[in-house]
Each structure stands twice: as structure tokens, then as C-alpha cells.
Structure 1
Amino acid sequence: MVLNLFIICTLGFLAAVVDAIAGGGGLISLPALLLVGVPPHLALGTNKFAASMASLNSSITFARSGKVHFSLVKWQIPFTLVGAFLGAWSVLLVNSEFLSKAVLVLILFVGIYTMVHKTLGMKSNFKGLNSGNIVLGCLFALALGFYDGFFGPGTGSFLIFSFIALFGFDFVVASANSKVLNFTSNFASLLIFAWHGKIILSIGIPMALFMILGSYVGTRLAIQRGAELVKPIFITMSLLVALKLIYQYL
């Protein structure tokens, strides 16, 4: 039991560092739980509990540094929440096979497009908010909230990319805003897992503590090192999500 907790907490810390910087931490934290023999449905719920605590901490740290654009995300949060609830409900009714194929294509596009366009997200090109881009941002928040509740892999990458493509934010501000929305969708899913008793608190609480620490380290690194650190990790995690989906598909 002690060895299992050591593995979970160590990998959870690493996952949170990566996730705070560029998303994709679930590629590390969820397999850590499965590795020590936690059943899949309990692993999903326990991982969601720990990841929610970590993403909340990242959101607070980014907010304190002034990197979160509250005048935008305040509109997006309710749409993300509604989308996540609808996604979590719909997963019980709809086959996710088509979605997994579509996401594979999209996440590959995001990773390769970002890699090819050398200056994308390296500096801020934000021109301000207007009714048009706010509405578009809310629609994306609704769609990505739904996706996170329904399926999940790559949500952080899609959120960061949408903030850069739609609003011209740099990678650090895009990552900061994405953590706020990611926490929102995580929290909605967490409520459903908790309602159905799918969280192992004896594992989830120590894992959450290490992931909170990891999220703090990752967030501070992102703030201090800027887009030069965030962009390559973002590309790496996007392509790793794509490889994971290819592996699952094959």
C-alpha cells in the first residue's frame, strides 16, 4: 500500500507540473492509478478528484499573477459548466467511437499547426473584446465543456489553442485562462463521480496534495519562463494525446 501511494503521488506530482504548464497531465496521473490496480471507474473518479484540486490551485496562482482575463472567462464559465454536465449525461447514451476518431484528427492538427507556425502564441496579439468574439468564445466554452464531460483527452490543448486562435493571447495567458475553464468542467464531472461513489478518498486525498504542489511548481515555471517553456511542452503533450488515441484505436 505504501509503495502504491508513493507511485501514485510521485506520478501525480509530475502530471500536475505538466498539466499546469500546457495541459495533458491526465496522460500520467490516470495510468498511475491503473498501474497499481485501481479499477477503471474508480480510477477515473479518483483522478478527477485530485486533478480538480490541482486545477483549482493553478487557477488561483495564475489569477494572483494577473494572467487570467476575467472579463472574458466570467462569460465562459457558465457555458463550460452547462456543457460539462450535458457531456457527462450524454456519455451514457451515445457511442464515443466516432468522437474518438474526430478528436484524433483535431488534436494532430493542433499539435502540427502549432509546431509549424513558429511565432504562434509567442507574444500577445490580443486586440480587445467585442460582442462577436465573446459569443464565439462562449460557444467554444460550451463545446469544450461538453467534450470534457463526454470524452476528455486533449481538453487542455483545445482550450489553450482556442484562446490563442480566437483572441490572440500568448501561451501563458491562454494556459491561465484554460485552467479556469478546465477546473469548471472538472468540477462538474467530479460532482457526478462523487454522487455515484466513484472516488477512493484514501488514495485521492494524498494524491491531491501532491498534485496541488505539482500544480504550483508548474504554474510558477510557466509564469517565470513564459511562452518559450509553454509552447514546446504544449506541442509535446498534444502529440502524446494523439499517440494515446491511436494506440487505443488500434
Structure 2
Amino acid sequence: MFFDLTIICTLGFFAAMVDAIAGGGGLISLPALLMVGIPPHLALGTNKFSASLASLNSSITFARSGKVHFPLVKWQIPFTLFGAALGAWSVLRVSSDFLNKAVLVLILVVGIYTFVHKNLGMENRFKGLNPFNTIIGCLFAFALGFYDGFFGPGTGSFLIFSFIALFGFDFVIASANSKVLNFTSNIASLFLFAWNGKVLYSYGVPMAVFMILGSYVGTRLAIHRGAALVKPLFIIMSLLVAAKLILQYI
């Protein structure tokens, strides 16, 4: 068990560090749990437990640095939570095959669009809130919360991109805002997994400790290095999520 814990804690640290900067950490942490022989349903629940604590730590660190735009996020949180709960409820009743294919196309578009537009998200162009963009932001929060509860891959990328495309935030503020909403949506899924006994705490707790450390390192790097670090890593993680979905589809 010591060897298994060494693997999941080490990979969990790097997963949380990457996730705090640009999202996509699940591409590292979930395979780590599966690698040591944990059954898929327990791996999903255990990963959600550890990742939720890591995203909470990132949210707090970003908030303390002043990077979270609370006047907008405070309206989005309840929509995200309701959407995630509805998504988690729906996944038990609806096939995710179509969504799998649709997300593949969308995540590729996001990654390529961000790569082509060199100045996208490199500086903060946010011009303030108004009733229209607040409503649109809440609708996106609900939709992405639902998606995270229902399916999941690429949620962080979609959240970051929506904050940049809709509001003109730079990558650092967009990443900070997305962490708060991502943590919110994680809570609904985590509750479902924990309620059904799908969290392996003997692995989840030590992994969570290392993921919290990784999230702290990643958040500090994002804050101090800025968009110049976040943007290229965001593109890489978006394309890796797309590659993962392609392999699943094949």
C-alpha cells in the first residue's frame, strides 16, 4: 500500500498544481488511482473527494490575492450548484454518448481558437457588470455546472474560456473565478459519491493532502507568473482533454 500511496500522492500533487493554473488535472489524478488497481467507481469518487479539497484551497488562495471577481461570482455560485446537482441526477438516467462527441468538438475549438488569437486573455479588458452580461454569466454557470455534474472532462477549460470570451478577464482572473465555480460544482458530485459509499478515504485523505499542496504551488505560480504562464498551459490541457476523448471514442 505504501508504494501505491507514493504513486497517487506524487501524481496528485502535479495534477493539482496543473489544475490550479489551467484546469485539466483530472487527466493525471484519475489515471493515477486506476493505475494502482482501484475500481473505476471508487476511483471516480476518491478523485472527486481529493480534487474538491484541492480546488477549495485554490479558491481561497486566489481570493486572498484579490484575483476572484466576487461581484460576478456571487451570482453564479447558486446557478452552478443547482446545475451540478441536476447534472449528477440526470447522469443516472440519460446516456452521455452524444455529449461525449459534442464536447470533443467544443474543446478542440476552444484550444485552437485560444492558440490562434495570440492576445486573447493576455490582459484584463473587463469593463464592468450590467444586467445583460450578469444574466448571461449565470446561464453559463448553470450550463457548465450541469455539464460538470453530468459528464465532467474539460469543465475547467470551458469555465476559463467563458470568463475570457464573455467578460474580457485575463487568464489569471478567469482561472481564479473558474476555481470557485469548479469547487461549487464538485460539491454536488462529491455528495452523490459519498452518499453511495464510493469514496475510498484510506487513499483519498493522503492524496488530498498532497493535492492541497500542489494546488497551493500552482495557484502561487499563476498569480506571480500571470497570463504568460497560464495561457500556454491552458492550450496544452485543452488539447490533452480532446485527445483523451478521441481515445475514448475510438
Specify if TM > 0.5.
yes
CA offsets per residue over residues 41-62 of structure 1, 9 Å max, x none? 0000000000000000000000
1:88-99 correspondence to structure 2 within 5 Å: 88-99=88-99
What's 1:146 paired with? 146
1:243 aligns with 2:224: no
1: CA distance, partners of 2:47 / 2:27: 11
Q: Which runs of 5+ in 1 are unaligned?
A: none
Deviation at 1:188, TM superposition (A): 1.0
What's 2:119 paired with? 119
What's 1:78 paired with? 78
2: CA distance, partners of 1:57 / 1:217: 11
Secondary structure at 1:93 match in 2: coil
1:37-186 correspondence to structure 2 within 5 Å: 37-186=37-186
Structure 1 segments (4+ residues) deviating >6 Å: none
2: CA distance, partners of 1:194 / 1:244: 26
2: CA distance, partners of 1:54 / 1:157: 17
Secondary structure at 1:125 match in 2: coil
2: CA distance, partners of 1:143 / 1:203: 32
Aligned residues: 250
TM-score in terms of structure 1 length: 1.00
Secondary structure at 1:55 match in 2: helix
Deviation at 1:34, TM superposition (A): 0.2
TM-score in terms of structure 2 length: 1.00
Deviation at 1:100, TM superposition (A): 0.3
What's 1:224 paired with? 224
CA offsets per residue over residues 109-145 of structure 1, 9 Å max, x none? 0000000000000001100000000000000000000
Q: Which runs of 5+ in 2 are unaligned?
A: none
Among all aligned residue pairs of Structure 1 and Structure 2, give the percentage whose two residues are the same amino acid: 81
What is the one-letter code of the residue matched to 1:5? L
